[in-house]
Structure 1
Amino acid sequence: MTAIKIAGATLNQTPLDWKGNLERIVLAIQEAKSRKVEIVCFPELSITGYGSEDLFLSYWYPQKALSQLGKLIPYCTDITVAVGLPVRIQDKVYNTVAVIENGKLKGFVAKQFMAIDGVHYEFRWFTPWEANQVIDFEFEGKKVPLGDLTFNHSGIHYGFEICEDAWRGKVRPGYRLHDRKVDLIFNPSASHFAMGKTLERKELIEYSSKIFNCYYCYVNLLGNEAGRMIFDGEILLGKSGELLARNQLLSFADFQVITFDLEAKTQEIAAVQPKEWEFVQASALGLFDYLRKSKSKGFVLSLSGGADSSTIAILVAEMVRRGLSELGLSTFVEKLNLDFVPQTENPEKELVGLLLTTAYQGTKNSSDDTFQSAKYLAERIGATFYSWSIDEEVASYTGKIENAIGRKLTWDQDDITLQNIQARSRSPIIWMLANINNALLLSTSNRSEGDVGYATMDGDTSGSISPIAAVDKHFILQWLRWAEKNLGRSELSYVNSLTPTAELRPLERTQTDEKDLMPYSVIVEIERLAIRDKRSPIDIFLILKDELELEEALLKDYIKKFFRLWSRNQWKRERLAPSFHLDEFNVDPKTWYRFPILSGGFTEELDQLDQI
């Protein structure tokens, strides 16, 4: 087999950005040509972006994608290009890869298996292609083959598995490609980021290249494409069970072209980073793309001095740090469309001040500890910091209700009401600040709070984007300690010394999150089994009674509390601001776990716990 140079090219695309999407593909092709690449493979649905949702169902959208393909072909002379797009044939839409060789369209390969788990709803838009089927498809007045195809280039026989195709075990297309004696399989993908997922892909590429005895090249999309899913831009090459090359994930670049010599030798293999690094890098990139693609001017954050809001403040600061490091000052500023000229020798801190505005909104129930934590953190990272009391607003709302109902509200009788009015009173004024700044309001709820409804609607859930809503509180607390040490964020010393608390009850009532709920470490274990693994309450008890050092009666109480609060608070999860998908699962009903708003609340299942 002739030794040639191939490339995987990852792209940060945006649905409906036809001009920008095409330009990024063309620039990547030009770079590949300059590096003497003979075959370059782009990710799945590169022309439109994967996150086009129900646009795929229209007639005009796939047709527009084909017209963009026509514009792209003239740039593909002296190179072979594989690029993804949707193709409509009558009432069916197919997820395809177009193969262009030296300026001529050679055919379309159609995806055979649709992803329908977790964040994926591909069967809503696409029809699976049947194995071994090939038809003629008319493109610009000429017939080209479409279906289950392979191709040849300089003595190299190659084919495709498109994303989900590779995850289907014994029925995956790779086995038929092996029977056809291909030398190389490309896998153009749109595989959402999740912490630790790269290890699964590494195993897939090693396994696939071994059982098919070929080169296997994986190419993923990049960036926060459409709001929720983040793509990590991973590119991998394997041969005969050995990983030969891997790039570093989560680049801030518009595109990356990673070249390989098609030889069985180890090339550059980037290290696999820990989950804590992946979390900060993915969140930073997600915030950067969300900011620039929404054409907003910055972020506003109600900074309480606690773990959640402090995490988000650091993520914005890391967005600036990492973006400047990778892109440089001029490109970073240009991509965010900022009018910025540095006035000091620390443009990073200046930019944080320009992009992040924070406010500590205290009440008589707030402590000096959280105020100092918020103030110190904001000052150290450079964020604009305000502080004010909302006692007057709370008193006004409370007084009006008391006059209306003819009695005073008390903590013994009206605990939840008096807590919630404080959280809700913070929302209108922080929204004013966001509107004044033409900025995105960052909401601070985490996944553990989403599980049990430990959040005030139109309070701490209020916002334009919820960066950590898909991450559990146990991880956040661990990450903050990791970040203080490993990111050099000594400004986190205050928050890491505090016990998580909502600070909504009077200080003498010593409110803490875990006293209100249960230990966050227990919530994580119940959640993992109940939501990720979809286990019943009894299953969960039988598993955890051997794993956790808890009295059985207490464990049953925790399980009952979780399921009752989960069922009661689905309406809150339905109203959460858009959140990034960062972990292996989340509780957003729009992107991972659907649950009825009204239900029987596991009554029979929880009663059965007392019988074992």
Structure 2
Amino acid sequence: MIKIGLAQINPCVGDFEGNFSKILYYIDKARKKEVDIVVFGELSLCGYPPEDLLLKPQFIEENIRYLNRLKSYTKKIKVILGFVDRRRDKIFNAYAFFEDGKLKDIYHKIYLPNYGVFDEKRYFTSGEKIPFYFLGDYSFSVNICQDIWQKSYLERLSKKNLDFIINLSASPYHLGKISLRKSILSQASQYLNCFLFYCNIVGGQDELVFDGTSMVVSPSGKVVEFAKRFKEDFLIFNFNKNKRLVPQQLRVSYVEEVFEALKLGLFDYVKKNGFKKVIVGVSGGIDSALVVSLATLTLGRKNVFGLIMPSQYTSSQTFDDAKRICKNLRIKFYTVNIRDIFEAYLSTLKPFFRNRPFDNTEQNI
């Protein structure tokens, strides 16, 4: 039997010291729990997605400097984590495999996504080689995120009789993504007839939210262990390929899922950008009511201020609703009448509105 630990951490792009400290914490925790291999997510050292920071040489150098610092902390344990590798004038989405204080291997991600929110081909060069490792009687391979989604990659892996696969990921959330991801990983594990250890990152980064939900999938395609959703977690799995395991059910409520994603995204956007408090415009309508309620539940009422901005088009009922929302949430609020500001806009735009009837265009300024 071997112990594999999936460290589902919340990294911050560019916060090398913070990410490094968090990685050391989980390495130490893994060592105390006698874990054989501790795994971190894709680009967990520098944070994902680093985007145009990758164009700055000092960002790459700092990332490599912290990777070299990590080496001495990996004695008596195996550590796999994502970082940015550099070879001459090319950079790679990579992982480093440390074993007992030594750098055992570096792998370069082969399949670089370039759709939707992904733009990896703009920065990274694709790798070519697929690695294979042994731990006692167990054979395994390690890859990164999109690699495991590709049939051609699985075909290359299928030529080896592997006991398990480890996949480092930075897979962002969207509605239904958890079920989709589970289906893809299930198909991969069945095709390869081996266990699959999937380690995702968690947290909000700018417009993206990463849900975590790291998991262990059996050769039958059944999920036998889940990490938490939308929270940091450390999943330790006692792996014995001959042991019969009971499948676990992940019950997903779409309403709860979206709510947790919104809270995490909002909280991390505020925290990671160094803000302490927020101001929310409250109109008395359902949209602003939802936003200010979410902000209060996420950040705490003392960190949220309401701003009510009535004009000559604000009805007394709407104005009263706006105040009632703030009072019900017990947040401090301010009222700023914008009638004079509105009139100034009308005066400035008068030449462009000439000979046109007054309508909702003016009201929505």
TM-score, length-scaled by structure 1: 0.56
Distance 1:267 1:362, change over 3 A: farther
Match of residue 328 from structure 1: none
Residue type of the partner of 1:259?
Answer: I
Aligned-pair identity (%): 29
2:227–2:233 Cα contact (<8 Å) kept: no
Distance 1:292 1:29, change over 3 A: same
Judged with a 3 Å threshold, the aligned counterparts in structure 2 of structure 1 residues 38 and 401 are, in CA distance, closer, same or farther, namely closer
| Counterpart residue type for residue 11 of structure 2 | Q
Cα distance 1:408–1:193, how it changes in 2: closer, same or farther (>3 A)?
A: closer
SS at match of 1:179: coil
Letter paired with 2:183: E
Match of 1:110 among 89, 103, 108: 108
Runs of 5+ unmatched residues, structure 2: none
Q: Decide whether aligned partners of structure 1 residues 109 and 400 sit closer, same or farther in structure 2, where only a CA change above 3 A counts.
A: closer
Asked whether 1:291 is paired with 2:270, we answer yes
What SS does the corresponding residue of 2:44 show, helix, strand or coil? coil
Residue correspondence of structure 1 range 590-609 to structure 2 within 5 A: none
8 A Cα contact 1:6 1:37, kept in partner: yes
Indicate the structure with greater strand content.
2
Question: Of 240, 262, 268, which aligns to 2:239?
Answer: 262
The 1:396–1:92 alpha-carbon spacing in structure 2 relative to 1, beyond 3 Å, is closer
| Per-residue deviation, 1:211 | 1.1
Whether the aligned pair in 1 keeps the contact of 2:94 and 2:106 (CA below 8 Å) is yes
Q: Could you say if the C-alpha distance between residues 415 and 25 of structure 1 is closer, same or farther in structure 2, counting changes exceeding 3 Å?
A: same
Offset at residue 416 of structure 1 (A): 5.0
Change (3 A) 1:270 1:13: farther
Greater C-alpha radius of gyration:
1
Q: Find the partner of 2:28 among 27, 30, 38.
A: 30
SS of 1:389's equivalent in the other structure is coil
User: What does residue range 331-370 of structure 1 map to in structure 2 within 5 Å?
Assistant: 351-352=300-301, 354-370=302-318
Corresponding residue for 2:183?
Answer: 203
Paired with 1:400 and 1:82, the residues of 2 have a C-alpha distance of 61
Residues 395 and 73 of structure 1: is their aligned pair in 2 closer, same or farther, counting only changes over 3 Å?
A: same
Are 1:299 and 1:355, in contact at CA under 8 Å, matched by a contact in 2? yes
| Cα deviation 1:169-220 (Å, max 9, x = unaligned) | x212x33223122211011001111121000111122211111111101111
Tell me, yes or no, if the aligned pair for 1:40 and 1:81 is still in contact at 8 Å. Answer: yes
SS in 2 for 1:188: strand
Corresponding residue number in structure 2 for 1:242:
222
Superimposed CA distance per residue, residues 219-265 of structure 1 (whole angstroms, 9 cap, x where no aligned partner): 1111113x1211112211011121101122111xxx42111111344
2:71 corresponds to 1:73:
yes
Instruction: Give the alignment partner of residue 287 of structure 2, picking from 308, 315, 335.
Output: 308
Q: If the length of structure 2 is used for normalisation, what is the TM-score?
A: 0.92
**Structure 1 equivalent of residue 339 of structure 2:** 391
Paired AA for residue 192 in structure 1: P
Q: Which residue of the other structure, out of 112, 127, 140, is the alignment partner of 1:158?
A: 140
Higher mean C-alpha displacement, 257-266 vs 28-37: 257-266
Q: Structure 1 residues 295 and 199, CA, compared in 2 at 3 Å: closer, same or farther?
A: same
Correspondence for 2:5: 7
Contact 2:313–2:363 (CA<8 Å) still a contact in 1? no
Aligned residues: 362
SS in 2 for 1:117: coil
Q: Which residue of 1 aligns with 2:157?
A: 177
Aligned partner of 1:580 in structure 2 is: none
Distance 1:420 1:374 in 2: 18
Distance (whole Å) between structure 1 residues aligned to residue 2 and residue 349 of structure 2: 76
TM-align CA RMSD: 2.2
Change (3 A) 1:401 1:184: closer
Which structure is higher in RCO with an 8 Å CA cutoff and minimum separation 6? 2
Query: Deviations for 1:539-591, whole angstroms, at most 9, x for unmatched residues?
Result: xxxxxxxxxxxxxxxxxxxxxxxxxxxxxxxxxxxxxxxxxxxxxxxxxxxxx
What residue identity is the alignment partner of 1:262? F
Unaligned 5+ segments in structure 1 are: 134-147, 321-350, 422-612
Which residue in the other structure is 1:280 paired with?
A: 259
Q: Which residue number in structure 2 is paired with residue 88 of structure 1?
A: 86
SS at match of 2:237: strand
Match of 1:186 in 2: 166
Q: Is the 8 A contact 1:250 1:281 kept in 2?
A: yes
Aligned match of 1:574: none
What amino acid is aligned across from residue 91 of structure 2 in structure 1?
V
Q: Secondary structure at the match of 2:158?
A: helix
Q: 1:212 to 1:120 in 2, by over 3 A?
A: same
The answer (yes or no) to whether the contact 2:283–2:308 under 8 Å persists in 1 is: yes
Deviations 1:403-443 (A, max 9, x none): xx5x9979x6142542243xxxxxxxxxxxxxxxxxxxxxx
- Partner of 1:161: helix, strand, or coil? strand
In the aligned structure 2, how far is the partner of 1:184 from the partner of 1:208? Answer: 11
Q: Deviation at 1:372?
A: 3.0
Contact 2:107 2:127 in 1 (8 A): no
- Counterpart amino acid of 1:398? L
Cα separation, 2, equivalents of 1:242 and 1:46: 27
Please tell me the residue identity of whatever aligns with 2:64.
L
What amino acid does structure 1 have at the position aligned with 2:195? Y
Question: Which structure: greater helix fraction?
Answer: 1
